[in-house]
Each structure stands twice: as structure tokens, then as C-alpha cells.
Amino acid sequence: MRDFVQFSGVQKTYDGESLVIKDLNLDIAKGEFVTLLGPSGSGKSTALMLLAGFEQPTSGTIRLGGRTLNSVAPHDRNIGMVFQNYALFPHMTVAENIGYPLRVRKMAKPEIAERVKRALDFVQLGRFADRYPRQMSGGQQQRVAVARALVFDPALVLMDEPLGALDKKLREEMQVEIKHIHGRLGITMVFVTHDQDEALTMSDRIAVFNDGRIQQIDAPAALYERPANQFVAGFLGDTNMLPGEVAGEEAGALVVALKDGGRVRATAVDTLSRGAGTLVSVRPERLAVNPAPETPDQMPATLVETIYHGATARMIFRLGGGTTVAAQLRAGSPLLALEPGAAARLAFGQSDGRAFALS
């Protein structure tokens, strides 16, 4: 069922003036892991609050399992949630917090005890069962909130930056654990994060938000390889932007006269007519440095600096007109021996250059 969760034409304003959600259309299948990714203030948490039923849409409808959300009583929604401020019940211990959704559902005591124990182990907090939230760090409280959201096997789980306060190692472990639980229980997950690596590793699909709209929703690889607009190309991963003007078309490729001089062939993302300004986006790892002499469309460049990142290195070049671009190389590449100031040639494949209309 593709439309287990369905937003149709949803708008939301808090103050009656500005729309923080402008036109949200989103279908989520049962069992899918969908991540909302976007800059601060783009409307991710608001979308989650609407789905949880804590906020009402100003217009449009939200359906859950085929029923409009308003017609489903809160206790029938079977939604597990972790919110951005991960509020635990301060007067309950960790174990009591995690067991709360089970007590509400009138589960038998031994089963509650068993499930709470498993949930505590899952978030690596077995020793903390009898502590109160105020006696725990922010990251530990976050993990309790994650355990509480999953403990009752909900059909739908909403998580708003649940791993934000964790250090890198614990964060990566929890990502893997959450992903396993998701696969094992077949829950539908709507997950919010700022962190693009987290979104790329965990999601079946990522919805990129900006300014109250979904800019693109796609599987991680498709989103990275075929960003639909400049915002997505710039927000997800690093990209170089080469300014130019459309000079024509040739065998299905767009020919672009670069501001920095020379011509390149690229793939048109938007409709672009001759003479139109364009930005050609190329990922650093798709930029070839000093390719074979017969490679077409080479751009002369000067090396500015080389930055080491462990397994990879970035070489920063300046093109003829002053535009700087980055190329990513594997550590150990002989090209890394080039000294700053050295002349070089850069090139990319036609399908690796994506030409966007100026926005």
C-alpha cells in the first residue's frame, strides 16, 4: 500500500500570515523508511507534528492507513514518537518511562518487564533502569526516548533528530540498530535529520525540504546522482557550480560556453534555450585531473592547494575566469604531487555535468 501515510495539498501557517508548509504532497508506503532532510526552519518538524496530530493543517488532508487523521482517535493511531526536545516524564525512572506505552496498552506485567529490558539493552542503557531523567546526560535521555518510541511495536514511528546529541561512534551504532529494528519489525519510519550522511545511510527515500516545500523526493543514490534543482545539488553532498551560457545542442548534449572560457557538454536538467544563463553542477569526485590528451572539453586550471582527508584528498583549482572548483582524488594518486601554482587540465563526462537554469 503506497499510501499508508498520505499528505495531500497540505499547508500550514502558525501566525495566519506566512505559510511554513506551502504545498505538501507526500505518499509513504507501509514499511518504508522516509527521511525529511533540509535546513533549519524549512518545515520538517512541522510536517512531523501534523502527522502526529499535535498540529492541525491550515488546509489539505493527511491520511493514515486510508483514513483522514482527524477521524482516528489519538490512542488508535499507534504512532511511536521521538521529538526534538525528547521530553521524558521527569517523575518516572528510565524503566518506567520506557514501560509507559505498554502500561497504557494494559500489557501484562511480566511482558512489560521483558520488553523494557530488551529496549534498554538495545539503547545500551541496561545499567540506568532506575535512574531519573535529570540524572542522565542529554544523549542518554535521547536514547531512552528512542527506546520508548519503539517498545510497543508501533506501525508508524516518527523521529525528529533523535540522534542529535550523540557522539559520532554511538550515533553510527544507533543508526545501524534503528535500521535493523525497522527491517525486522516492518515499521514505517518518518525520520528527520540535518545530517546528510545519516539520511543517505538510513533511508529508502529522502525528501529534501526547503522553504516549506519538498524540493525532491527520491532514493538516496538517485537524489545524489540526479538532483532536480540547484538547491538539492548544493545541499546534498559537495558540488562545483560552473557558470556559463547555453551555446547550443549537440547529439543530445547541451553545449555550454563557460564564463571561465572554453566549452563543455552537459546534461540539461531544466529547459534551456540558446543564450540562456546556466550553472553546470559537477561533483568533485567526477572531475578528472589531467585526463588523457584526447579527452574532449578540457578546462585549463591552476592548482591553488591540496587538502588531505585521510582516504581521499581535495585539490582546489582556479579556472581561467577565477571560478574555484574542487576535485576529489584517492590518497596515493600520483597527481597529489602537483605543487600549488601548477598548471592542470580538468574534464568531466557529459552525464556528470548537470545544467540548471539560473534561479
**Which residues form the interface with ligand ATP (CB under 6 A)?**
14, 20, 38, 40-46, 84, 194
SS3 for 182?
helix
SS3 for 110?
helix
Q: Which is nearer to ligand ATP, 47 or 254 (CB)?
A: 47
Q: Which is nearer to ligand ATP, 3 or 195 (CB)?
A: 195
Q: Which is nearer to ligand ATP, 86 or 348 (CB)?
A: 86
Element counts in the chain: helices (H) and strands (E): 8, 20
DSSP state, residue 235: H
Place of cell 551560457: 245
Distance CA 186, CA 210 (A): 29
Q: Which is nearer to ligand ATP, 17 or 167 (CB)?
A: 17
Q: Which is nearer to ligand ATP, 102 or 166 (CB)?
A: 166
- Residue 71: which of ligand ATP, Mg ion, none does it interact with, CB under 5 to 8 A by kind? none
Q: Which is nearer to Mg ion, 45 or 97 (CB)?
A: 45
Q: Which is nearer to ligand ATP, 19 or 181 (CB)?
A: 19
Strand segments, DSSP code E, in the chain are 5-13, 19-28, 33-37, 59-64, 67-68, 79-82, 156-160, 188-193, 205-210, 213-218, 240-250, 253-258, 263-268, 277-282, 288-289, 299-308, 312-319, 324-330, 343-347, 354-357
Q: Which is nearer to ligand ATP, 164 or 320 (CB)?
A: 164
- In whole angstroms, how close is the CB of 321 to Mg ion at the nearest point? 40
- In whole angstroms, how close is the CB of 125 to ligand ATP at the nearest point? 25
Residues contacting 305, CB < 8 A, separation 6+: 315, 316, 340
- Residue 171: which of ligand ATP, Mg ion, none does it interact with, CB under 5 to 8 A by kind? none
Place of cell 520538517: 44
- Residue 353: which of Mg ion, ligand ATP, none does it interact with, CB under 5 to 8 A by kind? none
- Residue 93: which of ligand ATP, Mg ion, none does it interact with, CB under 5 to 8 A by kind? none
- In whole angstroms, how close is the CB of 308 to ligand ATP at the nearest point? 31
350 contacts Mg ion (rule: CB under 5 A): no
Distance CA 130, CA 50 (A): 34
Segment near Mg ion (CB under 5 A); pick from 43-51, 107-115, 176-184, 307-315: 43-51
Number of residues that bind Mg ion (CB under 5 A): 1
Residues contacting 86, CB < 8 A, separation 6+: 141, 142, 144, 145, 162
In the chain, the largest separation of any two C-alpha atoms, in whole Å, equals 75
Distance CA 6, CA 26 (A): 6
Q: Which is nearer to ligand ATP, 10 or 319 (CB)?
A: 10
Contact of 34 with 203, CB cutoff 8 Å: yes
- In whole angstroms, how close is the CB of 112 to ligand ATP at the nearest point? 33
Q: Is 190 exposed, middle or buried (0-12, 13-18, 19+ CB in 10 A)?
A: buried
- In whole angstroms, how close is the CB of 192 to Mg ion at the nearest point? 6
Q: Which of 6, 35, 45, 240 binds Mg ion (CB under 5 A)?
A: 45
- In whole angstroms, how close is the CB of 279 to Mg ion at the nearest point? 29
- In whole angstroms, how close is the CB of 40 to ligand ATP at the nearest point? 3
- In whole angstroms, how close is the CB of 145 to ligand ATP at the nearest point? 16
- In whole angstroms, how close is the CB of 21 to ligand ATP at the nearest point? 8
- Residue 43: which of Mg ion, ligand ATP, none does it interact with, CB under 5 to 8 A by kind? ligand ATP
What is the number of alpha carbons within 13 Å of residue 304 lying toward its C-beta? 13
Helices (H), 186-229: 196-202, 220-225
- Residue 216: which of Mg ion, ligand ATP, none does it interact with, CB under 5 to 8 A by kind? none
User: Which residues of the chain form contacts with Mg ion (CB under 5 A)?
Assistant: 45
